[in-house]
Every structure is written in structure tokens, then in C-alpha cells.
């Protein structure tokens, strides 16, 4: 089955990425090395060619048998195969709408009619005004059940939680109970995931005089135990779907248009992918 193949490929890539960068290396696995090198590339605005040159130098410098990748392309491919890649979705310069789905091929915003692109005077190259970096939700939901430990954690709220009529978990709230009453079929399946959506802005360049800001839209699974939810504040392991949305102050009030993409994907996962998500859990039962 396609799902079994996806699980096999993910497990293989994960095992490969845990290997030592070179024989005897205890500080870095291949995956950790790739992530930190790509982080250096981003933080220093290093070009692909520059990173390629550094990688090739490390290949010559380190012991024979090292696993240092030969190019930026190979490094990014590891993240892609592990499901850590993201998609670019163009957005209106005024944050009115996304150029996505029925708007994917439009050259101007369907709301304010502003052009999708700004024209570069050199060669007339089209450059989009703004880009949403989207981390697809459905593959991340599947991966929650590719780990035996995580599959158990996702069912904690119904299998191990003690109901003492004290509000210690979202499942103790009246809103959660009312949701279960209104959506009984969904509530009866303990493997279904309830998500919380959060967003906040930050200035990625540390210059508060700059009008540019970055808004992250993050989905957090509420099924987890309170102590695991607290760990989410310190770790990124279970932040299943962060999006990065560039906004000006004028666009903040229209952030809802970008959040709609998240809601649409949640509906798609519920309607067409839920069977595949559940299938991944059967291998651990």
C-alpha cells in the first residue's frame, strides 16, 4: 500500500540521518550537520555556491568515509525526504488573498486588483511581492503515528487521563465536552487529533524601526498530556504546521485570509486523508 511505502521510506531516511558524519564522530549525526549547515547559510546569507565550496572543503578535510554531502541540493533533499520541506505560496502585497487553488494562475489580486509581481528593471524579471512559506499539514499528522511513543501520547487524553473534575487539560473544559457532543462520531475515535491554532508576530531582523515583521501560524495538537504540552514551549518536535507570513502593519488586520489556508487544509485532511492517517497507527497496535 502507498501508506506502507511512505512509512518505510520515512523510517529508512530517518535511520540514514542518524548515522555519524564520520567514523568516531560523537557530536554530530548527518541530520544535525545538515540542519546546522543550512542554518549557517540562512543566517549569513551564504549563496548556494558558497555552501557547496565549504562542503567540498570539509570532504577533503575530514577522515575518509565521511558522509559530508557534496552540494546544497543534496542537503535540502535530505530534509525534503524526511518531510521537512515547505511550499511557497504567493500572497497579495496588501495581504488580501493568497494566489492558491482557484487563484493560483492569476496575475493580480482578486480583491484589490494589485499586481501579483513587481518588475525587476534588469531584464524585466517578475518577482512576487510576498511569499507564504507553508509546511503541509497532512504529512505531519501521518508522522504523529509513525512513532510508537507518539501514537500512545496522542491517545493519552482518552486512555490515561484521570477525570477528577479539575481543569488540568483542554479535555476538562466545557468547550471540549460541547464539541464532543456536537461531533459524536469524531469524538468516539481516540486517534483523531484536535488542534489549536496560534499566531504571533516578530521582527526577524531585530530592528524595531523596520515596518517589516514575520507572523508564524502554528498548529499544536491538544491530545497530549499537560507535561508534554508544556514541553512544546521549549521544543519544536510537535509543532506540526508552522507557516511564516511576511506582513506590514497594515496587513496584520487581514491575517485571517492567510489563516484560511490552514483551515482549508485541516478540512481536506479530515475528509480525504483520515483513513491513511489511521492506517499508520495500526502498525503499532
* String of DSSP letters for 224-272: S-HHHHHHTTT--TT----EEEEE-HHHHTTTHHHHHHHHHHHHHIIII
C-alpha cell at 141: 499528522
Residue-wise over 5-42: b if at least 16 C-beta within 10 A, else e? ebbeebeebbeebeebbbeebeeebbbebbbebbeebe
CB 115 within 8 A of CB 78: no
Domain boundaries along the sequence of the chain: 2-81, 87-131, 135-282
Among the residue ranges 19-33, 138-152, 188-202, 229-243, the one predicted with the least confidence is: 229-243
C-alpha cell at 73: 541540493
Question: Residue 132: its pLDDT value, please?
Answer: 81
Counting residues of the chain whose pLDDT is more than 70, the rounded percentage is: 67
Nearest-CA neighbor of 278 among 186, 204, 163? 186
CB 72 within 8 A of CB 41: yes
Residues 6+ apart with CB under 8 A from 113: none
Question: Residue 240: its pLDDT value, please?
Answer: 46
- 145 pLDDT exceeds 80? no
pLDDT band at 254 (very low <50, low <70, confident <90, very high): very low
Mean pLDDT, to the nearest integer, of 260-267?
Answer: 69
CB 91 within 8 A of CB 116: no
Nearest-CA neighbor of 216 among 255, 187, 190? 255
CA–CA separation, 47 and 43 (whole Å): 11
CA–CA separation, 156 and 246 (whole Å): 36
Question: Which is more confidently placed, 241 or 28?
Answer: 28
Mean pLDDT, to the nearest integer, of 135-162?
Answer: 80
Question: Residue 245: its pLDDT value, please?
Answer: 46
Residues 6+ apart with CB under 8 A from 153: 223, 224, 225, 228
pLDDT band at 129 (very low <50, low <70, confident <90, very high): confident
Mean pLDDT, to the nearest integer, of 74-93?
Answer: 81
Round the average pLDDT of the chain to a whole number and report it.
75
Nearest-CA neighbor of 134 among 86, 199, 204, 93? 86
CA atoms within 13 A on the CB side of 145: 25
6: left (phi over 0), alpha (psi -120 to 50) or beta: alpha
Question: Residue 252: its pLDDT value, please?
Answer: 37
Which of 8-12, 61-65, 138-142, 160-164: highest mean pLDDT? 61-65
- 15 pLDDT exceeds 80? no
- What are the pLDDT digits (tens) for 243-253? 544 444 444 33
Sheet containing 130-134: order of strands: 87-91, 130-134, 243-247, 213-221, 195-202
Residue-wise over 125-141: b if at least 16 C-beta within 10 A, else e? eeebbbbbebbebbbbb
Rounded to two decimals, what is the model's pTM?
Answer: 0.61
- What are the pLDDT digits (tens) for 29-49? 888 898 899 989 988 989 999
Strand partners, 220: 196
Question: Residue 164: its pLDDT value, please?
Answer: 75
Question: Which is more confidently placed, 237 or 145?
Answer: 145
123: left (phi over 0), alpha (psi -120 to 50) or beta: left
Specify the 3-state DSSP secondary structure of 139: helix
Amino acid at each position: 500500500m502507498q501508506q506502507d511505502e511512505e512509512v518505510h521510506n520515512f523510517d529508512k531516511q530517518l535511520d540514514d540521518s542518524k548515522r555519524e558524519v564520520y567514523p568516531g564522530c560523537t557530536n554530530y549525526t548527518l541530520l544535525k550537520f545538515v540542519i546546522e549547515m543550512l542554518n549557517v547559510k540562512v543566517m549569513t546569507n551564504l549563496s548556494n555556491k558558497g555552501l557547496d565550496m565549504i562542503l567540498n572543503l570539509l570532504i577533503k578535510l575530514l577522515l575518509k568515509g565521511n558522509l559530508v554531502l557534496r552540494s546544497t541540493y543534496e542537503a535540502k533533499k535530505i530534509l525534503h525526504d524526511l518531510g521537512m520541506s515547505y511550499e511557497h505560496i504567493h500572497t497579495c502585497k496588501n495581504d488580501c488573498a493568497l494566489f492558491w487553488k482557484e487563484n493560483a494562475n492569476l496575475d493580480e489580486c482578486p480583491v484589490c486588483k494589485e499586481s501579483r509581481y513587481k518588475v525587476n528593471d534588469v531584464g524585466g524579471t517578475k518577482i512576487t511581492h510576498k511569499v507564504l512559506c507553508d509546511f503541509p499539514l497532512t504529512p505531519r499528522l501521518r508522522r504523529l503515528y509513525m512513532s510508537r511513543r507518539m501514537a500512545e501520547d496522542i491517545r493519552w487524553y482518552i486512555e490515561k487521563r484521570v477525570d477528577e473534575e479539575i481543569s488540568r487539560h483542554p479535555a476538562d473544559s466545557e468547550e471540549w465536552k460541547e464539541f464532543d457532543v456536537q461531533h459524536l462520531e469524531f469524538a468516539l475515535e481516540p486517534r483523531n487529533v484536535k488542534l489549536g491554532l496560534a499566531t504571533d508576530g516578530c521582527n526577524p531582523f531585530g530592528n524595531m524601526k523596520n515596518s517589516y515583521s514575520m507572523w508564524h501560524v502554528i498548529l499544536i495538537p491538544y491530545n497530549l498530556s499537560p507535561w508534554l504540552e508544556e514541553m512544546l514551549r521549549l521544543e519544536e518536535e510537535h509543532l506540526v504546521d508552522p507557516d511564516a507570513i511576511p506582513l506590514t502593519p497594515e496587513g496584520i488586520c487581514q491575517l485571517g485570509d492567510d489563516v484560511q489556508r490552514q483551515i482549508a487544509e485541516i478540512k481536506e485532511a479530515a475528509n480525504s486523508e483520515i483513513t491513511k492517517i489511521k492506517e499508520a497507527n495500526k502498525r503499532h497496535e
